[in-house]
Amino acid sequence: MAEREWREWGIARSRVGEVLSPGEGDIAGPGAAEEPSDRGEPPALPASSEAAKPKSVVPMWRAGLAWSALSADYQRILQALADRGRLGQGPLTCQEMAGCFGLDPVLAKIEALRSKAKRLTARGWLAEPAPGRFTLAKAVAGQGGGS
């Protein structure tokens, strides 16, 4: 019994180590966080002009920053909200977004979208005019898509 628990603990520890260690394709190093630094500096941007890799840092929005600075998942959220704005429709909930993307409306999928939408809101890409309802931030919408 104790041996099995010890092995399980070892496996869990190694998996946590794998998750927390920087991967070969990661843009940010081990000390980088997705939150802006305390000094008010934006997080590091990808060095290339290619689309950002999955699990990359979401940069603070600023004029002229293209949507390609974001990973495909974040770009998909922005595109859905931009399309909605062009049609004159209001903000989207994360459950509605899941439906737009063809995802099952299960809690895990909705919460993953909510996490991404909240991160985009915190970085200035989206606005949340009512709790749980998201739209493009005015400056981002005025940019004409950025992609």
Task: Give per-residue pLDDT as tens, 79-111.
Answer: 999 998 888 888 999 999 999 899 988 999 999
CATH number at 69 reads 1.10.10.10
Per-position DSSP letters for 54-77, written without gaps between them: TT---PPP-TT--GGGS-HHHHHH
Task: Give per-residue pLDDT as tens, 14-32.
Answer: 777 666 655 444 444 334 4
What global pTM score does this model have? 0.59
Is residue 132 domain-resident? yes
Q: Looking at the predicted structure, is the pLDDT value of residue 58 above 90?
A: no
Structural domain span for residue 108: 48-147
Percent above pLDDT 90 for the chain: 35
DSSP state for residue 44 in the 8-state scheme: P
Is residue 74 domain-resident? yes
Scan for tokens 């293209």, then name that residue. Answer: 66
Q: Could you give the C-alpha distances from 25 to 16, 19, 85, in angstroms and in order?
A: 18, 13, 34
* Beta-bridge partners for 134: 92
Tokens linked to 48: 């290339």
Is residue 8 domain-resident? no
Q: Looking at the predicted structure, is the pLDDT value of residue 37 above 70?
A: no
Output the pLDDT for position 42. Answer: 42
Most confidently predicted of 38-42, 48-52, 64-68, 132-136? 132-136
Is residue 13 domain-resident? no
